[in-house]
Every structure is written in C-alpha cells, then in structure tokens.
Amino acid sequence: MKIAILSDIHEGLNRKRTQSQIMDVLYKWIETNRPDVFMISGDMTAGPDKSLALLNQLQHDFPKTKFLFVHGNHDVYYEDSQAAYEKLLQFPGNLGNGPVELNGDWVIIGDGGWYDYSYQIEGYTEEQFRIGTFNDFTWPDKLYALWPGSDGEETDRYVQKLEKWLHEYRGKNIIMVTHVVPFQKFLQVKNDPSWDFFNAMMGSERFGELALKYGVKKYIFGHIHTRYHEHYNGIEMICNPLGYYPHEWNHQSVEEEIFSTIKVIEI
C-alpha cells in the first residue's frame, strides 16, 4: 500500500505568491503516481470552508485514492474555531472522526492537535505566551484561531481523544498523525528570542509521550516548515511540509517543488 504524505500546502497563500494553480500541479502528481492513500497533515489553506471544499474536490476527483486529513492551525481560522473543527469533520477522511484501518495490520490514528507552551523558552510568563506577542509581532493564531478554551485546555482535549483511540488499538501497527510537533527535538532553536519565543506555539510534548506510551511505529506531523524523515526514539518520524514560497522552497517552479517534495511510504 502506497501512502503519499504532504502537509502545509497553504494553497491560497502559495497560489497568490507563485501566481500558479497549486492544485493543478497536485492533481498532476496524483494522476502520475496514483497512491492508495494521501495523508494531508494540516494547513491545507486558511479557513475551514475553503479547506473542506478543496478536500472534498480531491476525494471526488480521485475516488481510488483515500484522502486522509488532520487540520492545521490555519484550517481553523474562523470566528469560532470549535465550529471550524466540527465543520472540517464533514470531510470523511478527517482523522478527527476516528481511526482508519489501512489493512489487516496497520491503523492510522490522528487529529490536528494544539499547543500548551510545553516548548516554551525560559524567562517569559504563561500570560505572555497566552497573549503571544513578541516585540510587535503577534502569533497569527491568537488573532484568527478563536477557541472556546485556553491553548492548554484545547491541547488536553486532543490528548484525551487520541489516548482513547490509541488505547483501543494498542498492539496494532499504529501510524500516529498530528499537525503539531510531538517532540522538542524537531523545533528550530535559533537562540534568538524573537524566534524561539514562538516555539511555545509549535506543539506539545504530550503527543510525543502518547506515541512512546503506545509504541507507535510511524509518526507524521507538520506545522514546522522543515522537512524531516528519520528514526527517533524507535519511531519513524515524517514531517513533510510544502511550506511557503519562495523562502522555504528549494525550487522556483511549482511543479519541481511539489513533485520533489511529496513523500511516498509503503506499508
């Protein structure tokens, strides 16, 4: 079974910046490669309606590929992020609806996840991370992702949901997925507080703890726009974002970047 992996497509932003139809190129890749499963691990575009429309269109146009999705922070930019979260569950392949058994041996379990400042740097208060402003830059989620609970409470909701599913499927070969980063090791630390301050908003070590507790075999994430594929703590870790054009891309051409970035694993 071939599983294609990509996150952080940021369709709207990258379409505008590249002046190219990002989705057309993605379509071309899928037509050429025909994976059995396509795992999109968050930040499809900004806002639930647009993300949902793109996902439904993909699934409609490629019925033989099973599209799976966890939301990113940008997908829940909405006046009520809880409502956005629920709206995105209308996509049948949203892992927030529950685990998906891939074949007799493997199950994929995930959800977007959130952050609880467990990756915070020293010298700042909880209140400063809650407000999320450093110098004159405010972390955009603070303005556009409006959850009913605090960041910590929202993270807790995901941890509880994921743990219930992981417990149900313990002993199986599990692929775990979140949008956010599960281990501190994958953060970029620049020793520049104007960058490192925002690592508090990159994820939670609680997701990594769950992965270790339940012995997951593979872990797919995104959010941080740096690509990783390596073993860590006995887990095959895959972070495979498209990221922002141009500074996070290796190529000028959309086709070259998308074709060279999408990762395919076999189970």
Residue 196 as a binder of Fe ion (CB under 5 A): the answer is no
Q: Pattern of binders to Fe ion over 67-86, x per CB under 5 A?
A: -----xx-------------
Residue 8 as a binder of Fe ion (CB under 5 A): the answer is yes
As measured in angstroms, the least distance from the Cβ of 4 to Fe ion is: 18
Residue 94 as a binder of Fe ion (CB under 5 A): the answer is no
Whether omega for the bond prior to residue 182 falls within 30 degrees of 0, making it cis, is no
Q: Is 144 exposed, middle or buried (0-12, 13-18, 19+ CB in 10 A)?
A: middle
Residue 151 as a binder of Fe ion (CB under 5 A): the answer is no
For residues 84 and 107, which CB has a smaller minimum distance to Fe ion in the complex?
84
Residue 43 as a binder of Fe ion (CB under 5 A): the answer is yes
For residues 73 and 94, which CB has a smaller minimum distance to Fe ion in the complex?
73
Count CB neighbours of 80 within 10 A: 14
The stretch near Fe ion (CB under 5 A) out of 24-32, 97-105, 106-114, 221-229 is: 221-229
For residues 198 and 259, which CB has a smaller minimum distance to Fe ion in the complex?
198
Q: Which of 210, 227, 228 is nearest to 174 (CA)?
A: 210
DSSP secondary structure, 159-220, as one string = HHHHHHHHHHTTTSEEEEE-SSBSSGGGS---S-HHHHGGGGGSB-HHHHHHHHHTT-SEEE
Residue 93 as a binder of Fe ion (CB under 5 A): the answer is no
The stretch near Fe ion (CB under 5 A) out of 39-47, 113-121, 165-173, 226-234 is: 39-47
For residues 62 and 144, which CB has a smaller minimum distance to Fe ion in the complex?
144
Both structure tokens of 68? 């799976």
Q: Which of 168, 114, 163 is nearest to 139 (CA)?
A: 114
| Residue among 223, 238, 254, 257 that touches Fe ion (CB under 5 A) | 223
For residues 102 and 262, which CB has a smaller minimum distance to Fe ion in the complex?
262
Tally of CA atoms within 13 A in the half-sphere of 25 that contains its CB: 20
For residues 107 and 241, which CB has a smaller minimum distance to Fe ion in the complex?
241
Residue 111 as a binder of Fe ion (CB under 5 A): the answer is no
Q: Which of 46, 196, 49 is nearest to 128 (CA)?
A: 196
Q: Which of 76, 84, 89 is nearest to 46 (CA)?
A: 76
For residues 9 and 100, which CB has a smaller minimum distance to Fe ion in the complex?
9
Residue 41 as a binder of Fe ion (CB under 5 A): the answer is no
As measured in angstroms, the least distance from the Cβ of 13 to Fe ion is: 9
CA distances to 18, 82, 142, 162, 264 from 186, rounded to whole Å, are 28, 28, 23, 21, 21
Both structure tokens of 98? 């529950």
Footprint of Fe ion (CB under 5 A)? 8, 43, 72-73, 223
